[in-house]
Structure 1
Amino acid sequence: LTICINRKMMKFYCILLILLLSQCYSFHISSMLSTQTLRKSELSMISHGIGFKRLGRPADQRKALLRGLTTEVIRHGRIRTTLVKAKELRRFVDHIISLAKKGTLHHRRQALAYIYDKDLVASLFEQAPERYAERQGGYCRVIKEDLPRRGDGTPMAIIELV
């Protein structure tokens, strides 16, 4: 037994299936209903690939950029960069300081794999536990600057350790 369903009916059944699934699982469907055609990726309930800014670079360059910026923030205490980079960098700096607060050999090796300077990691693991003892997170702050960058108008920010 085969059933022929035209394209309009298929779209109707897909929307009906999404509505039924939304009763069991909580996910946002208004964006799916507003599109002209439903794509296969829109039927999935898990958001894959969301979680970091790409910063207009390939993965290896992005990782090297964030490693370098993280190293410089920990070395100097504050740096000036673009607002998007500063917001993305905040996650990595907080993670490295959390590793330093734990202070085990395993966490030290994880930090050494990420930070470029071994002496900087050693000093961070000495200073961080007492400096951030009562703080549970949010070890750095991002301060927006008033004026954008002169050449291209990109919003700038200062990221600094608390």
Structure 2
Amino acid sequence: MNHKNGFNPLSRTSAHRRAMSRNMVTSLFRYERITTTKAKALEVRKAAEKLITRSKVDSVHNRRQASRFIADEIILAKLFTDIGPRMKDRKGGYTRILKLGFRQGDAADLVILELVDYKLDSSSKGAKKDDKAKKDDKSKKAEPKSKDKTAADKKAKTEKSKKAETESKPKAAQKPAEKPAAAETDKASE
């Protein structure tokens, strides 16, 4: 009987499905971790694991067979020089699927498909976050000073420009400054 020996067509034509699968496998080998739907991840995992098994033995035939599926030469080289040798001791199960939840728009199951030996550089990322937080704190502390400086600079410039205007005008042209505040208080008292 031929039970469970098929594949999921993913509601796509064969050409679309083949192209999508090739692109997703290439992305998996490039980034070593991709986010996709559960159905796609299960299909991509089949192709990816077969290619990793081939890459464990670096021969001309295996490279040619893999190049039928992966068009990017850089990723193909990475597969045979980096990923294959890392998985040399494993007999299978090169990828894992981690559940994320449901997508907002259509409630599809989202998962992360990653290579088993994928490691987050949490120590370097944590250090980067700490450095970034320190820089943000410094910039926040520096901002009020810079705002005060700019406000003070603007005030000083306006005072200087007013002073320069009054000095440049002849004394006959200068009029005494009106006092609008006093006029307003007189009107308000009536």
d(CA) in 1 for partners of 2:85, 2:94:
13
Question: Which amino acid is 2:102 matched to?
Answer: P
1:59 and 2:14 matched: yes
Aligned to 2:108: 154
Which of the two has greater helix per residue? 2
Task: Say if 1:139 and 1:161, in contact at 8 Å, map to a contact too.
Answer: yes
TM-score by length of 1: 0.68
Going from structure 1 to structure 2, the CA distance change for 1:64 and 1:49 (only over 3 Å counts) comes to farther
SS in structure 1 opposite 2:107?
coil
Aligned to 1:73: 28
Going from structure 1 to structure 2, the CA distance change for 1:149 and 1:56 (only over 3 Å counts) comes to same
Deviations 1:131-155 (A, max 9, x none): 112101111101111x311110001
Alpha-carbon distance, 1:48 to partner: 7.9
Aligned to 1:144: 99
Deviations 1:58-78 (A, max 9, x none): 111101110000000000000
Going from structure 1 to structure 2, the CA distance change for 1:126 and 1:154 (only over 3 Å counts) comes to same
Q: Which runs of 4+ in 1 moved over 4 A?
A: none
Question: Which amino acid is 2:41 matched to?
Answer: A
Q: Which stretch has the larger CA shift, 89-98 or 126-135?
A: 126-135
Deviations 1:41-66 (A, max 9, x none): xxxxx328942111010111101110
2:58 counterpart (96, 100, 103): 103
Q: Tell which structure's C-alpha radius of gyration is larger.
A: 2
d(CA) in 2 for partners of 1:123, 1:142:
22
Question: Which amino acid is 2:111 matched to?
Answer: A
In structure 1, stretches of 5+ residues that fail to align are 1-45
Task: Say if 2:53 and 2:84, in contact at 8 Å, map to a contact too.
Answer: no
SS in structure 1 opposite 2:68?
helix
d(CA) in 1 for partners of 2:57, 2:5:
28
In structure 2, stretches of 5+ residues that fail to align are 117-190
Using the aligned pairs only, state the percent identity. Answer: 38
Going from structure 1 to structure 2, the CA distance change for 1:83 and 1:129 (only over 3 Å counts) comes to closer
Task: Say if 1:140 and 1:161, in contact at 8 Å, map to a contact too.
Answer: yes
Task: Say if 1:143 and 1:159, in contact at 8 Å, map to a contact too.
Answer: yes
Task: Say if 1:68 and 1:116, in contact at 8 Å, map to a contact too.
Answer: no
Question: Which amino acid is 2:103 matched to?
Answer: R
